[in-house]
Amino acid sequence: MKIAISSTGNTPGSRIDKRFARCSYFVIYDKESGGIEYLPNPAKDAEDGAGPTAVQLVAGRQVKKIISGEFGLKIKPLLDSLKIQMIVIQEEKTVGEVLEMLDFEVKGQS
């Protein structure tokens, strides 16, 4: 399963971005392979349509869950229709901290 994380940058030390559609990067984590991909968000500075563009980008990577600080109201029905789960993290965390949590979750299921 692939998980997207909205991020302020392209390193494990980058913070989780509170804005899903306007984040700087998406971190795509593949739980099966352990692979990590940092994708620049082309919708970051869009005047309008940032949400659908961001959803299209992560859906194209076969993401099943998205972790972000918040999601816009228009995004929920779109993600629901694609069966992509939204996970909101309010705490200030780095990408690395979230990846450690996900790795622990994977090991805990074994």
Say what the pLDDT of residue 73 is. 87
* 72 domain-assigned: yes
Residue 3 has pLDDT above 90, yes or no: yes
Give me the mean pLDDT over the 5-24 stretch. Answer: 96
Its pTM stands at: 0.90
* 101 domain-assigned: no
The confidence band for 12, taking pLDDT boundaries of 50, 70 and 90, is: very high
* 9 domain-assigned: yes
* 103 domain-assigned: no
How many CA atoms lie less than 13 Å away from 110 in the CB half-sphere? 8
Say what the pLDDT of residue 110 is. 42
Q: CATH code at 73? A: 3.30.420.130
Give me the mean pLDDT over the 32-46 stretch. Answer: 94
* 110 domain-assigned: no
Q: Which domain does 35 fall in, by range?
A: 2-94
* 18 domain-assigned: yes
Number of folded domains that form the chain: 1
Q: What is the pLDDT of residues 72-105, one digit of tens each?
A: 888 999 999 999 999 999 899 999 999 998 875 5
Q: What is the CA radius of gyration of the chain?
A: 13
